Amino acid sequence: MNSNFAQTDSTACLVSPTVAPLEGEFLKLGIMASGSGSNFEAVAEAIASLQLKAQLQVLIYNNPGIKACARAEKWGVPAVLHNHRDYKKRETLDAKIVQTLQQHEVNCVVMAGWMRLVTPVLIEAFPDRIVNIHPSLLPSFKGVRAVEQALEAGVKIAGCTVHLVRLEVDSGPILVQAAIPVLPDDTPETLHARIQIQEHRILPQALVQLAAGCFRNKL
């Protein structure tokens, strides 16, 4: 695989070629979040500044009272709660999520801090149209506590990844990555805060390139 590196300050952005499922389409985004919604805000700001030609159709969240809901209200985006605690099966939850996404005419789903495993019900409803942002340089440090995993492993470089979603956790084709140095005095909190800065940069960038057809030839 050929990869291109674009240097921004001290951060290397890795762009890998893969399929462009949305080439030529106007992005109608459904965001899924479980926490603060800072990546939701980054996407909203990219749209408002005309960096990203897209529309936010709906925010789906699973934890009542989270900050992401307030961010959606600020931007005038409908927010729909699907509390995972109300569902006995993951497939049932995902079926309700799919229904909500379809009702809001979504054509691209962004898992922006969605802290739940997804099932084929969701993945097959939006094949190659679900992206995830993960706080590590995949394929290293998949799953939960990725930042802590990186620090425990003693790596010198950390970062974040935007990738297409597959059934296996954090395993889909990589779209964009950003790398940052791990500092000697980094804690999980300080490292995660610096990684989030890069998440907010590369997630809109990945969506721009996805819509433009920049990712090809790998599934």
Q: Which residues are catalytic?
A: 134
Structure tokens at 136: 């590590």
How many whole angstroms separate alpha carbon 132 and alpha carbon 198? 14
Residues 15/176, Cβ–Cβ less than 8 Å: yes
* DSSP run (H or E) holding 13: strand 11-15
What is the SS3 assignment for 64? Answer: coil
Q: How far apart are alpha carbons 86 and 64 in whole angstroms?
A: 12
Distances (CA, A) of 195 to 12, 38, 72, 157, 160: 12, 12, 23, 11, 6
Name 115's Cβ contacts closer than 8 Å, sequence gap at least 6.
34, 35, 62, 144
Nearest CA to 102 out of 5, 28, 200 is that of: 28
